[in-house]
A and B are shown apart, each in its own frame.
Chain A
Amino acid sequence: MSPTTRVLTFGGHPAINGVVRIACASSPSLELVAETEDPQEIVRVAAEATPDVIIFDADVREADPALLISQLQAVVPSAAVLALSDRSDGRSVLEILRSGASGYLVKADGLKVLGEAVASAASGRPVLDPALEQAAIEELGRFARRQREASAVATALTSRERDVLALLADGATARQIGRRLGISPRTVETHVANVYRKLGARTRVQAIGRAVTMGLVSLG
């Protein structure tokens, strides 16, 4: 374990970069090892720089921040990711925390406490304002419920129905489904009706939409 905390910044936010540079310059225990704003580069840079703390601008537009964070955690599992964002709603906070970040600061107030936050993150303490935590907890309740409902639907579908659903999502007509699965058009109709009913859908578009949301099929 190195005596200094190695800090990496991701994001082109000038104020964040500025604050982190100052914090690292004025503290002997913090060392700024790399900065990058390129989402294509961050994982490679992190792997090379082996930071202890990653200051992560979660408002990055060109890439999915949650995906980047989970990739970072895979590549540098010992790094604490401290996310900064303009967003303070429960859904955003939970999604970032869920992907592996151990801290979340809202940019407006967070910049003032960023120096201390880096030190906290370095010592393994999560950085999360109680109000943000509460918002995330509320969202957790909704999240758990959605997963449970999706799970119930998935369980209710027979494997045949799941085959039909997959083909529907591919854009197959009833006739194509029948030919593909070796079943009669009437049987296809029955399966489709059951699938719609179990998904609570009235149209094909609705059914596919629900199925995608629940993770039962993927498109493309």
Chain B
Amino acid sequence: MGSEPSTGRSSDAPAGQSVPVVLVDQLPVVRAGLRLLIDAAEDLEVVGEAGDSRSALTVLARLRRRRAVLLVGLGVLADRDRIDLIGEVRERYPTLVIVALGADADIGSISMALFAGVDGFIDKNSEPSRFLDAIRSASHGDMVLAGVAPGAVGKIAATIDRRRRSELLLTQRERDVLAVAAEGLTARQIAERLGVRERTITTHLDRIYDKLGVSSRFAAIRAATRSGLVTVAGPE
């Protein structure tokens, strides 16, 4: 183990004090379970929790002067809201340790979380003691990837790489259009959502298909999902 924390961030508390942890997860039962598990450890302590992004930011603002580890539950398929929260927190609090939590998370979601700015990922399927150890490692500034398959690290890096290449390929506007298109809306609905004319949207889509080398909306969304550009909501 090197002496330099790899992320440059750490929540090392003075000896005798416990590492403060903030929980963000949509489900109250999950938060309650995590709180019990974490508070049972002597060196960790839950100091705040939130069920949605806005509350999370409020909690963090209150805690601004205390170093903490923020645990963010990704939810199913790393929904946009959580990813945006991670990006926002990373920007406002550059030295805060952020760890994403998932349940059987897929490579795409983990990649998106890392790209958005988390310092690590822990799958909730981990053994409780491994789970706590991973939080501790993260608090010391180590990158953690716990509870994922051994082969995953390469695939996660590859997805992040593809994301960057796609990003270079598509403009921000095109990515916005594609992200909304991935929800299954028609061109007209996309236009309404983004406040532009329908013809503008079809022009964007044509250019997107061209750049991605595809000829159908479905193929474009699949290419974009594979590149971690968008996450797609599952069938309701």
**Hey, which bits of chain A sit against chain B, CB under 8 A?**
94, 96-102, 126, 128, 133, 136-138, 140-145, 147-148, 150-151, 154-155, 159, 215-216
Interface centre among A140, A147, A216 (most CB of B within 10 A): A140
> Closest residue to B152 on the A side, CB-wise?
A126
Distance in Å from the Cβ of A197 to the closest Cβ of chain B?
18
In angstroms, Cα B119 to Cα A140, docked, is 10
Within 8 A of A (CB), among B137-171: 142-145, 149-151, 153-154, 156-158, 160-161, 163-165, 167-168, 171
Contact of B160 among A100, A133, A147 (CB under 8 A): A147
**A98-B161, A215-B168 are known contacts. Are A148 and B116 too (CB-CB below 8 A)?**
yes
Interface centre among A97, A159, A215 (most CB of B within 10 A): A97
Contact of B164 among A94, A141, A150, A159 (CB under 8 A): A150
B172 CB-CB contact with A under 8 Å: yes
Tell me if B120 and A141 are in contact (CB < 8 A): yes
Residues of B within 8 A of A137 (CB): 143-145, 153
Count of B residues near A, CB < 8 Å? 29
**Hey, which bits of chain B sit against chain A, CB under 8 A?**
6-7, 114-117, 119-120, 142-145, 149-151, 153-154, 156-158, 160-161, 163-165, 167-168, 171-172
> Closest residue to A126 on the B side, CB-wise?
B151
In angstroms, Cα B162 to Cα A215, docked, is 12
> Closest residue to B113 on the A side, CB-wise?
A144
In angstroms, Cα B8 to Cα A177, docked, is 40
Tell me if A140 and B153 are in contact (CB < 8 A): yes
Tell me if B167 and A128 are in contact (CB < 8 A): no
**A138-B142, A141-B119 are known contacts. Are A133 and B163 too (CB-CB below 8 A)?**
no
Distance in Å from the Cβ of A152 to the closest Cβ of chain B?
9
Tell me if B150 and A140 are in contact (CB < 8 A): no
| A-B contact number at CB 8 A | 76
In angstroms, Cα B114 to Cα A154, docked, is 18
> Closest residue to B116 on the A side, CB-wise?
A148
In angstroms, Cα B172 to Cα A98, docked, is 26
Residues of B within 8 A of A140 (CB): 114, 143, 145, 153, 156-157
Residues of B within 8 A of A154 (CB): 167-168
Contact of A133 among B119, B153, B158 (CB under 8 A): B153
Distance in Å from the Cβ of A47 to the closest Cβ of chain B?
22
> Closest residue to B151 on the A side, CB-wise?
A126
Contact of A143 among B157, B168, B171 (CB under 8 A): B157
In angstroms, Cα B100 to Cα A26, docked, is 47
> Closest residue to B8 on the A side, CB-wise?
A145
Interface centre among B143, B156, B161, B164 (most CB of A within 10 A): B143
Residues of A within 8 A of B145 (CB): 137, 140
> Closest residue to A104 on the B side, CB-wise?
B154
In angstroms, Cα B143 to Cα A142, docked, is 9
> Closest residue to A138 on the B side, CB-wise?
B6
Tell me if A151 and B164 are in contact (CB < 8 A): yes
Residues of A within 8 A of B143 (CB): 137-138, 140-142
**A144-B115, A154-B167 are known contacts. Are A97 and B142 too (CB-CB below 8 A)?**
no
Distance in Å from the Cβ of A212 to the closest Cβ of chain B?
13
Interface centre among A96, A137, A145, A215 (most CB of B within 10 A): A137
Distance in Å from the Cβ of A135 to the closest Cβ of chain B?
10
Distance in Å from the Cβ of A145 to the closest Cβ of chain B?
8
Distance in Å from the Cβ of A71 to the closest Cβ of chain B?
14
Q: With contacts A94-B154, A97-B151, A141-B143 known, what are 9 further pairs, Cβ within 8 A?
A: A94-B157, A98-B158, A98-B161, A101-B154, A136-B154, A138-B142, A141-B119, A143-B157, A145-B117
